[in-house]
Amino acid sequence: MQPKVDGVAVTLVYRHGQLYQAISRGDGLVGEDWTDKVRQIPSLPKAVQGALANSVLQGEIFLRAEGHVQRKMGGMNARAKVAGMLMRRGEREPLSALSLFIWAWPDGPAAMSERLAQLSAAGFELAQHYSHRVSRVQEVANWRERWLTTPLPFATDGIVIREAKEPAGAYWLPTQGTWVAAWKYEPVAQVAQVNGIHFSIGRSGKVSVVAELEPVKLDDKQVRRVNVGSVARWRRLDFTVGDQLLVSLAGQGIPRLDSVIWRGLDRTKPNPPVGEYHSLTCFFLTDGCRAQFLSRLNWLSSPQVFNLEGLGEAGWNRLMMALPFDHLFSWLELRAAQLKEIPGIAPERAEQLWHRFEMTRRQPFRLWVKALGTPLPEAALKASGDTSWQQISARDELAWQRLPGIGPERAHRLVIFLHHPTIVALADKLHTLGVAGFD
């Protein structure tokens, strides 16, 4: 077992004895390249030899904090600080405050003791120093308590227990792994008063309930809101403005609603929108559609679709306020001169934005399918290979079901979606607007 070091996960790739690449975890499959930053960490060995010379290591970049007692000092925003330092550009200061804790060597020697010994000899000493062989739950509990209350050179958020035998690296997948378990420290919890209840509407029409709180401090974080989840859960919990909730930090800093602590006498509750929104609503900016419409715009400018940089929720809001917005793709009809008139958008930026808009016309057809909000899983979209509206709307339920991840239910919904008058009308608009694939 080892302390669970609180930092930012990184994958190190060594080739020919040199650090070749350092990659953030990202979404588990693709991450950021932090190679240059990691090379500036002083404790990183300059070169490694033997089996390590060509290896892949998993570790944690952490902020050195000599004498850190977790129970007394909490997390100190260590993770955010590390992430901040790694995202900072240029080389203003050396990253001398950072260090590395290597916790896995997926294709290293079979015996854990051997892996730890070789890592230590190469200059990654921490794992060996802080790893203990355990065979009983009580031993684990003892170490856990000890690491929580005595000084360590880093912040921790629990402990990790690993089996001595690990599978080959090829079998390591995000969110899986039965050979390793974490036992986190009890989260700090606080009672917070509900000041308001907010219903947010996502692009698909899904409604989420968010409780606005009288701000409370949890460990190193200031919490003002907490996600309640579905309307159904909110109803089950049965709370309203003025009631008090128990809130803790789940995982590494996301507020979590634990329970309702106290209810007042006044049981009046706001009315949530139920059944009003779904995947076929709010393609047009009409009364009551602002929220979902905005979510749709935000989605199509996100990296998952067109990646229109620098255009977020507030930006879209400005566009919507200042210009005639009718349907989801009205932005394609705007002229550069119109964009330049918007307060808060400089002429240069307006020009640039207009160009980005124009370029989306030539973006791959599959991105336009996503932009439309088609309820089609990523894997199926890739496998379909369709490149035109004709192809995609010609598919019947059986043809859809041959794609991965699509069963009868999704196939049915897809056919309804694609032949819905609103979608047909939008596809026709895209044709008129000269978007590739809609001719």
Of 139-147, 159-167, 265-273, 301-309: span binding DNA (CB under 7 A): 301-309
Nearest to 23 by CA among 8, 14, 34, 38: 34
Residues 156 and 5: beta-carbon distance below 8 Å: yes
- Candidates 29, 362, 409, 421: give the one binding DNA (CB under 7 A): 409
Residue closer to DNA by CB (options 54, 195) is 195
Residue closer to DNA by CB (options 128, 205) is 205
Quick check: helix, strand or coil at residue 425? helix
Active-site residue, 4 included: yes
- Longest Cα–Cα distance in the chain: 72
In angstroms, give the least distance from the CB of 45 to DNA.
22
Within 10 A of 385 (CB to CB), how many other CB atoms are there? 9
CA atoms within a 13 Å half-sphere pointing along the CA-CB vector of 352: 9
Question: According to the binding rule CB under 7 A, does residue 270 interact with DNA?
Answer: no
Residue closer to DNA by CB (options 148, 371) is 371
Report d(CA 42, CA 376) in Å as an integer: 47
- Beta-bridged to residue 68, according to DSSP, are 152
Residue closer to DNA by CB (options 62, 122) is 62
The Cα-based distances of 135 to 139, 364, 376, 425 in angstroms read 7, 55, 48, 66
Report d(CA 370, CA 80) in Å as an integer: 32
- Beta-bridged to residue 7, according to DSSP, are none
Question: According to the binding rule CB under 7 A, does residue 93 interact with DNA?
Answer: no
Of 27-35, 36-44, 96-104, 126-134: span binding DNA (CB under 7 A): 27-35
171 to 200: interface string for DNA, x by CB under 7 A: -----x---------------------x-x
- Candidates 62, 293, 306, 316: give the one binding DNA (CB under 7 A): 316
35 to 74: interface string for DNA, x by CB under 7 A: ----------------------------------------
- Candidates 35, 43, 54, 77: give the one binding DNA (CB under 7 A): 77
Question: According to the binding rule CB under 7 A, does residue 309 interact with DNA?
Answer: yes
Of 43-51, 142-150, 345-353, 388-396: span binding DNA (CB under 7 A): 345-353
Phi, psi of 141 (to 5 degrees): -60, -40
Question: According to the binding rule CB under 7 A, does residue 407 interact with DNA?
Answer: yes
How many degrees, rounded to 5, is the angle at CA 154 between CA 49 and CA 3? Answer: 75
Give catalytic residue positions.
4
